[in-house]
Amino acid sequence: MARKNYKPKYIITYQCLNCGFDFALTEKEKPKCFYCESTENYIVIKKEKFTPQAIVNRLRISTDRMMEALKGAWQCRPKDTDKKIDKDFDGEKLLLEVMAKAKKLKDKIQSLKLEKKIKNKNRHKTF
Ligand SMILES: [Zn+2]
């Protein structure tokens, strides 16, 4: 959420004691588990400086989990196509499309390189 003068100094990683997942927020945000939405029962497991590298690290963890979740969805998809409720809805195809998009996003994030800003206005942006 964009707010004026919003300059966090730290990224704090919490572990939710409700569901076991960890989630990271800046010190300016009220802790709330991304997974089970609990706002209590958590412990601080890591506190690091709010840097581009720290953000990229968290993004990598998030996209890894996203891929795992999608693989899980794929593995437990319904296989009995005769019992399709809606003939026009191809959930399997849709899931494959989502997985392909998620994979692309994951690959982009995994290959993110943090370059130091070069003060050259003619330099092309790579993304
Ligand atoms: Zn939780």
pLDDT tens-place string over residues 59-110:
999 999 999 999 999 999 887 665 666 777 888 899 999 999 999 999 999 8
> Ligand 1 centroid vs 61 CA: distance in angstroms?
16
Could you tell me the residue ranges of all domains in the chain?
9-50, 51-77+90-114
- Spatial CB neighbours of 16, under 8 Å, sequence gap ≥ 6: 22, 23, 33, 35, 36, 38, 41, 42
- DSSP, collapsed to helix, strand or coil, labels residue 118 as coil
Is residue 3's pLDDT more than 60? Answer: no
Average pLDDT value over all residues in the chain: 86
pTM here? 0.70
- The rounded distance, in Å, linking the Cα atoms of 22 and 16 is 6
**What residues have their beta carbon closer than 5 A to ion ligand 1?**
16, 18-19, 33, 35-36, 38
> Ligand 1 centroid vs 30 CA: distance in angstroms?
14
Identify which of 9, 25, 116 has the alpha carbon closest to the alpha carbon of residue 62.
Answer: 25
Residue 32 tokens read as 């709330």
